Amino acid sequence: MAKTGKKYQEATKLVDRTKTYEVKEAVSLAKQTAKANFDETVEAAFRLGVDPKKADQQIRGAFVLPHGTGKTQRVLVFAKGEKAKEAEAAGADFVGEAEYIEKINQGWFDFDVIVATPDMMAEVGKLGRVLGPKGLMPNPKTGTVTFEVEKAVNDIKAGKVEYRVDKSANIHVPIGKISFEDEKLVENFVALTEQLVKVKPQASKGVYMKNVSIASTMGPGIKVDVTGFRK
């Protein structure tokens, strides 16, 4: 059995594992259980009533949190001509073509998100074996393969998060930092939950949101009552 530190053990004593908390109470509790000496991320975890093995029950997309994530994303844009200028004007950290493909092939990863215009994907696609395992490959479903470069960069900088159901039907998404005001974390959580309800696959039957919890980076999971969202 893995050993846990004293701080974690103290934090778990604050959480009733048999209880499902209202979101405001859960957020407050997440702050109390954050014992690390850095600004921990608060993450929401959703256990959904879908079968990820079936194509019509896949869930993947992106969403701009009302109050962002508290993290500044470094954006690399693959574009040329006017679209490259548009990306630079929008505040992209890196903009280019072949030179950045070469840098990535040589092991450079000083960025968090890649945006690419559709006409660049033939070249960017060659990086699939490198970017795919790291979850960095641009994808139309998440709005990162687009000619609307300015909007894509602005959304990412504003706190856009990607969500994708894993093979166990779970989705994990950051909703902010412990330093956020409680109300901002609550609003981010509610907005994200509403978004996941909105993209519920028609083929999903029974209870959609089975279990939902939030936790700080180093803290224990806290179950959240989402009865009002269940459909």
The rounded distance, in Å, linking the Cα atoms of 130 and 162 is: 19
Q: Mean of the pLDDT values across residues 2-14?
A: 67
Residues 6+ away with beta carbon under 8 Å from 177: 39, 40, 41, 42, 69, 70, 71
Residue 5 pLDDT = 67
Mean pLDDT of the chain: 92
Q: Mean of the pLDDT values across residues 218-227?
A: 92
Tell me which residue has tokens 């009552």: 225
Residue 61 pLDDT = 92
Question: Per-residue pLDDT for 13 more than 80?
Answer: no
User: pLDDT tens-digit profile of 146-191?
Assistant: 999 999 999 999 999 999 999 999 999 999 999 999 999 999 999 9
Q: Give percent of the chain with pLDDT exceeding 90.
A: 82
User: pLDDT tens-digit profile of 18-38?
Assistant: 899 999 999 999 999 988 889
Concatenating the DSSP letter of every residue in 206-218 gives S-SEEEEEEEETT
Residue 2 pLDDT = 47
Q: Mean of the pLDDT values across residues 202-231?
A: 88
User: pLDDT tens-digit profile of 98-117?
Assistant: 999 999 999 999 999 999 99
Question: Per-residue pLDDT for 57 more than 80?
Answer: yes
Q: Mean of the pLDDT values across residues 65-85?
A: 95
Residue 4 pLDDT = 62
**Sign of the dihedral through C-alpha 176, 181, 182, 186:** negative
Structure tokens at 9: 């053990």
Structure tokens at 52: 């990820």
Q: Nearest Cα to 216, choosing from 29, 80, 17? A: 29
DSSP structure class, residue 57: G
